[in-house]
């Protein structure tokens, strides 16, 4: 099993996603003789998982059922163990596009954190690209190496445990793009410039505070970066639901419609908005925004090495 090389069947040692519903799923490491508890009962790895196809519907011991999904970077972002605050798919998608990443690209990242963005970057640059990721915290760096090995992508990533602001990325003049998610990104701009290829490399810095953005932009100008711009991605989700509205009193026009011979009992008219004329209401499909939405997450600052 690999996050970039998809397989059909579940094997011993795989990481799989147990899907109970859109708001309820979790990762599990498949192992012979192991069982996993869910609200629908027990899943026995040896008989219920190993050898089955990904996407299979598995019946649990209490009679309920779940789906077993092949892991993807998107699913991993939703289910990974949080060691730090992470980036989500909304920001990851614009980062991947604005950094102009593609198969074969060389990318430098700091810090690794929980590996949410790292998995997406690896999938994007595979099979011939490479990710050089730097993590200041030793235990987080070791855990990231372990996860990359378990997920079958260790040949596409190099994890380094060091301070990027002091020691850089460990590479020079080869990176197509650099991503910074650290408290003081302005201190790493010089090392980012050294890691980027001679001309045209792209850089992105993620910061939650506008004061960090200001200092980072000044540092980018000082080191000769061009096309500096900052943006923020805000996601607004709509729920599609059926609502009932009262029919307005339109006077004579409404009477004309009634005298036109409309038969609400005719099956062909059941789906029509006019079907509920006798009840004085009509039903519509409407998009309604959530009452609570995610506000500010962070600012993304992009620039180009010239």
Residues 90-124: tens digit of each pLDDT: 999 999 999 999 999 999 999 999 999 999 999 99
State the DSSP H helix or E strand holding residue 38, giving kind and residue range, or none if neither: strand 35-38
The stretch 139-151 carries a mean pLDDT of 96
The stretch 134-162 carries a mean pLDDT of 97
Residue 115 is labelled as binding a ligand: yes
Residue 268 is labelled as binding a ligand: no
Residue 181 is labelled as binding a ligand: yes
The answer for residues whose C-beta is within 8 angstroms of residue 289's C-beta and 6 or more apart is: 236, 237, 238, 239
Lowest mean pLDDT among 145-149, 220-224, 263-267: 263-267
C-alpha gyration radius of the chain = 26
What's the pLDDT at 81?
A: 94
Residue 8 is labelled as binding a ligand: no
The rounded distance, in Å, linking the Cα atoms of 282 and 296 is 38
What's the pLDDT at 244?
A: 87
Helices then strands, counting H and E runs in the chain, come out as 8, 15
Q: Which domains does the chain have, with CATH numbers?
A: 9-71 (3.10.330.20), 75-234+295-305 (3.40.50.150)
Contact status, residue 28 vs residue 71, Cβ threshold 8 Å: no
pLDDT in tens, 9-25: 999 999 999 999 888 99
What's the pLDDT at 276?
A: 47
pLDDT in tens, 198-208: 988 999 999 99
Contact status, residue 107 vs residue 176, Cβ threshold 8 Å: yes
Coil, strand or helix: which one is 253?
helix
Task: Retrieve residue 186's tokens.
Answer: 């302005």
pLDDT band at 278 (very low <50, low <70, confident <90, very high): very low
Residue 2 is labelled as binding a ligand: no
Identify the CA nearest to 302 among candidates 212, 249, 197, 225: 225
Rounded (5°) CA angle 135-112-296: 125
Residue 163 is labelled as binding a ligand: yes
Residue 135 is labelled as binding a ligand: yes
């Amino acid at each position: 099993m690999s996050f970039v090389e998809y397989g059909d069947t579940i094997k011993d040692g795989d990481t799989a996603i147990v899907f109970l519903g859109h708001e309820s799923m979790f990762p599990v490491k498949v192992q012979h003789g192991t069982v996993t508890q869910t609200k629908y009962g027990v899943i026995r790895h040896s008989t219920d998982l190993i050898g089955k196809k990904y996407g299979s519907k598995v019946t649990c011991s209490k009679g309920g059922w779940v789906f077993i999904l092949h892991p993807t970077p998107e699913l991993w972002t939703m289910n990974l163990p949080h060691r730090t605050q992470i980036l989500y798919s909304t920001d990851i998608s614009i980062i991947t596009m604005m950094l102009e990443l593609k198969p074969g690209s060389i990318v430098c990242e700091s810090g690794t954190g929980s590996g949410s963005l790292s998995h997406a970057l690896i999938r994007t640059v595979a099979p011939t690209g490479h990710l050089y990721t730097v993590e200041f915290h030793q235990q987080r760096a070791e855990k990231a190496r372990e996860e990359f090995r378990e997920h079958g992508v260790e040949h596409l990533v190099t994890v380094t445990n060091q301070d990027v602001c002091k020691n850089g990325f460990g590479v020079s003049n080869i990176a197509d793009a650099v991503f910074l998610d650290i408290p003081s990104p302005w201190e790493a701009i010089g090392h980012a410039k050294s890691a980027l290829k001679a001309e045209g490399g792209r850089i992105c810095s993620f910061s939650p505070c506008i004061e960090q953005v200001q200092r980072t932009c000044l540092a980018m100008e000082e080191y000769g970066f061009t096309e500096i711009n900052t943006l923020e991605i805000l996601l607004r989700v709509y729920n599609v639901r059926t609502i009932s509205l009262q029919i307005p009193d339109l006077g004579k026009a409404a009477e004309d419609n009634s005298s036109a011979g409309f038969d609400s009992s005719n099956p062909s008219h059941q789906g029509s908005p006019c079907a509920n004329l006798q009840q004085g209401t009509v039903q519509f499909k409407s998009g309604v925004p959530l009452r609570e939405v995610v506000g500010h997450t962070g600012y993304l600052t992009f620039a180009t090495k010239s």
